[in-house]
Structure 1
Amino acid sequence: MLAPLPLDVATTWVLVGLIHLGLAAAVWTVLTGRHDRRSTLLWCAGSAMAGVMMLVYAARGALPHLPAIVAANIFGYAGFALRWAALHRERERPLPWGTLAALVTLACTAVPLLDAVDPRWRVLGNLAFNTLASLALWHEARALSRARASRSAAMVGWAYGVVALLLLARLAAVFSGLGASPSQLATAFDTELLLLAWMLTALWANLGYVGFAIEMAERRARLRGAQLAEVTEQRELAEQQAQALRALSDERQELLRVISHEVRQPLHNAQAVLQGVADAMHGAVPAVPGLDRARRVLREITRSLDNTLAVSTRMIEDRAPPLRDTDLDMLVGLVLGDLPEEERPRVRLQRDSAVRTAAMDVGLMRLALRNVLANALAYATPGTPVTLRIVDSEEPLAVVFEVADEGPGIAPALLPRVFERGVRGRHDVHGQGLGLFIVRRALQLQGGTAEVRSDAGGSVFTLTVPQGQEDGG
């Protein structure tokens, strides 16, 4: 029967170093693409450096003494710093690279200096620095465990806590044996126990870090699932609300159709009857003031109703209407026909354009021109002319309607808000403050603009309808 081959201390250092290197490679392979790349890189690099330190320490007998000590310390303390940085980064804290570099430099410089004084002090100092570094890893892993409620992070903390306790025990043994020679210190009773603890720590800490990464991945998956469920629920709720809004919109449109038919039609009929009566009585009897007043009131009611219905229907649409070729003379004729008969002679038409047709929504332009002309007639000095000018624009390509009046102009404080809903110039003029709001909105729906300039000599409203656009239908 073969007897087991005893392992000397140097061989054990090599074995533990190779375990650190192998575990670092395994952790990197498992977590790449599954966990935060920078944190994983810091952890695996720190574990690998700890393995290189142990290999260098194992070969110190074959290497120059001082360079071997310096190299081993650089790899060892840098490995501690990188693993601490990985755990610190997992808590989403900024990394104090300057402080870490200063501590590593201090430890790497102090150990050779202590060795120059007495090798026994170098052993004592090295043990003290390793103890402090292990305690720092224990503390950071425990903080991570509390911050993330992670058992795996606690597992990492306990691994380094056990090593810190063993290092403290060895530190006490070395301190009590300062009178012994360095070789006697190196072969103290707990060397093998400490190497075994480092090997178990390598396994335990790396498994804990992988477990922590898996826990975080599961939480992210649960969070994404909960967010997806919330988004799905919100989408379903939004669809239900949209259906309810569509139903309300349909009801509103039906109500508006009823109002349009049941109210506007009798008003138009009444206007026609009054017009017939006026025509029949023309020249036969003296003028009846009440008849003319009734006709004016009906016209105002009809115009207000038309504006209200327009705001309730077309003005709230976001979709651009189809733009059709419209005969400009026909449009002007319709607009003038919408004005009170006694006011029509005040409107002067000026055509500075040879264009006969233009692309626009005839219903919106009729509404816009009627409102801006009615506004000019109402606010201009009584009896003064109102000019409707039609011109071409080359840059940009557009047809432009200008309505100019001779009046007191618009107050400077009111001018920036003149196109806003509900804004009125004077309260003695009938209206709801919808006319110019409708003008601007009607032009916006056609991709155009409505502008105004005003001074003490009057106001000029400019309505620009772009041309050269594709048919919206």
Structure 2
Amino acid sequence: MLRPLPLDVTTTWVLVGLVHLGVAAAVWNVLTGRHDRYSTLLWCAGTALAGVMMVVYATRGVLPHLPVIIVANVFGYTGFALRWAALRREREQPLPWWTLAGLVVVACTAVPLLDAVDSRWRVLGNLTLNMLASLALCLEARSLARARSSRSAAMLGWAYGVVAVVLIARLAALSSGLSSSPGPLATAFDTELLLLAWMLTALWANLGYVGFAIEMAERRARLRGAQLAAATEQREQAEQQAQALRALSEERQELLRVISHEVRQPLHNAQAVLQGAADALRGAAGVPGLERARSVLGEITRSLDNTLAVSTRLVEERAPPLRDTDLEMLVELVLGDLPAEGRARVRVWRDSAARTAALDVGLMRLALRNLLNNALAYATPGTPVALRIVDGEEPLAIVFEVADEGPGIAPALLPRLFERGVRGRHDVHGQGLGLFIVRRALQMQGGTAEVRSKASGSVFTLTVPQGQEEAP
């Protein structure tokens, strides 16, 4: 025969209720900041309401019996609903609030209705609803254990499974009439078994929920570690690829410098020889042929310069430093790059008070030479080509204008004129790189290249901003 507890029933339920409240506070303190805040709040609030239910239930001998039972049921069924919602949220299948509220209202309404029929029906109904709620938590926890492969969630499910079994046993005892008189078996069910069952939910189930939360935190940490390791590996691979590309680029640049030197030097030597031959044979019959050879060599040299410029400096990502440059020297260098017959057609106008400007000599020389060669090739033969240097005020800039007296540029061609491979006429020799190089050279200096055209000719404007040490 089971021995009665040393404590009275009222004290027993108060103690079990306080244990629920204490465990809820402890779980909240442990999991705050370590687990999903909303799920933790639902679970702890549900456990705390279960404790409040037990404390209120313990007062049924002091306060009016039925109102106390109804209030206790409101707390108890709400606690079940909140814990069920917490487990559903852990499975990422949250329940709408109105579903939970509806279940609580139905459960709480059933108690006074059954009591109106017979107090025995009210007790049986209450036990049945508690058993079904505990069974629902057991099944939900088992589903969570399968979904998350969690032993702690399985432990939680077993806790509520035991509670459901005890309530089924109590329900069977009442239904069979064993509790019609206050015998030892009824006392055991009313105190010891129910006490052990609810104590189990207060300790075992909450330990299971804490264990589940810790398991999920460990998995998130492992996942973050794996992601961090993968990101580190990707970064290292990217750095290795960048180093390989830099090495390849440096090798290419060195190869192009070698090619430039090995090809350009013989061309310059050949030009010098032809120049000497032309001077020696001036007035002889062979001079026109020499002049033609000099012209062809000059054209080859200019084409080579543009090709090498595109392949080397103009493909660099970093902008070059802009240095203070003498404008007179720049113009002399540019004019010196032109063939003699073209140089005679260029008229230089200085409308700027500045003697120097911050720019890159190599890039600016290349851009102006290409513009002047373009103007000389496309303008009406024998007409002058103007090179003007003016000041820009808003913003502060140095402006170079190259104007010709030619047929102008077709309107359909203007938007694409600075693109690679675009040419004005196919009867003029070239690869369509000249104006592309002009725009890129200005962009690298933080400037712009623009064109306007009309029937009487075209004007190209190159603007290099001033007042900065280097291009952005």
The answer for the alignment partner of 2:306 in structure 1 is 307
Q: 2-side partners of 1:33 and 1:25: how far apart?
A: 14
Amino acid at match of 1:154: A
Query: Are 2:385 and 1:369 equivalent residues in the alignment?
Result: no
The answer for the alignment partner of 1:62 in structure 2 is 62
Q: 2-side partners of 1:378 and 1:175: how far apart?
A: 112
Distance 1:291 1:25, change over 3 A: same
Match of 1:465, SS state, is: strand
Q: 1-side partners of 2:339 and 2:256: how far apart?
A: 25
The answer for the alignment partner of 1:350 in structure 2 is 349
Residue pair 2:372, 2:402 contacting (<8 A) in 1 also: yes
The answer for the alignment partner of 2:427 in structure 1 is 428
Match of 1:468, SS state, is: coil
The answer for the alignment partner of 1:341 in structure 2 is 340
Distance 1:190 1:268, change over 3 A: same
The answer for the alignment partner of 2:91 in structure 1 is 91
Contiguous gaps of at least 5 residues in structure 1: none
Amino acid at match of 1:38: Y
Residue pair 1:119, 1:182 contacting (<8 A) in 2 also: no
Contiguous gaps of at least 5 residues in structure 2: none
The answer for the alignment partner of 1:469 in structure 2 is 468
Match of 2:51, SS state, is: helix
The answer for the alignment partner of 2:323 in structure 1 is 324
The answer for the alignment partner of 1:246 in structure 2 is 246
How far is 1:252 from its partner?
Answer: 1.6
How far is 1:440 from its partner?
Answer: 1.8
Distance 1:350 1:52, change over 3 A: same
How far is 1:177 from its partner?
Answer: 5.0
Q: TM-score, normalised by structure 2?
A: 0.89
Amino acid at match of 1:162: V
How far is 1:264 from its partner?
Answer: 0.9
How far is 1:328 from its partner?
Answer: 1.5
Q: TM-score, normalised by structure 1?
A: 0.89
Residue pair 1:120, 1:181 contacting (<8 A) in 2 also: no
Amino acid at match of 1:106: V
How far is 1:361 from its partner?
Answer: 0.9
The answer for the alignment partner of 1:142 in structure 2 is 142
Amino acid at match of 2:147: A
Moved more, 363-372 or 4-13: 4-13
Q: 1-side partners of 2:338 and 2:155: how far apart?
A: 88
Match of 2:451, SS state, is: strand
Residue pair 2:330, 2:365 contacting (<8 A) in 1 also: yes
The answer for the alignment partner of 1:218 in structure 2 is 218
Structure 1 vs Structure 2: percent identity of aligned residues?
A: 83
How far is 1:465 from its partner?
Answer: 0.9
Q: 2-side partners of 1:115 and 1:414: how far apart?
A: 94
Distance 1:430 1:142, change over 3 A: farther
How far is 1:132 from its partner?
Answer: 3.3
Moved more, 183-192 or 125-134: 183-192
How far is 1:360 from its partner?
Answer: 0.8
Match of 1:451, SS state, is: strand
Q: 1-side partners of 2:272 and 2:306: how far apart?
A: 21
How far is 1:39 from its partner?
Answer: 2.1
How far is 1:210 from its partner?
Answer: 1.2
Residue pair 1:120, 1:182 contacting (<8 A) in 2 also: no
Residue pair 1:16, 1:199 contacting (<8 A) in 2 also: yes
How far is 1:95 from its partner?
Answer: 4.7
Moved more, 171-180 or 147-156: 171-180
Q: Cα RMSD over matched residues?
A: 3.1
Distance 1:262 1:54, change over 3 A: same
Q: 1-side partners of 2:166 and 2:4: how far apart?
A: 27
Q: 1-side partners of 2:174 and 2:449: how far apart?
A: 92
CA-to-aligned-CA distance 1:200-251 (integer Å, 9 cap, x gap): 1221211111111211222122223222322332333333323322332232
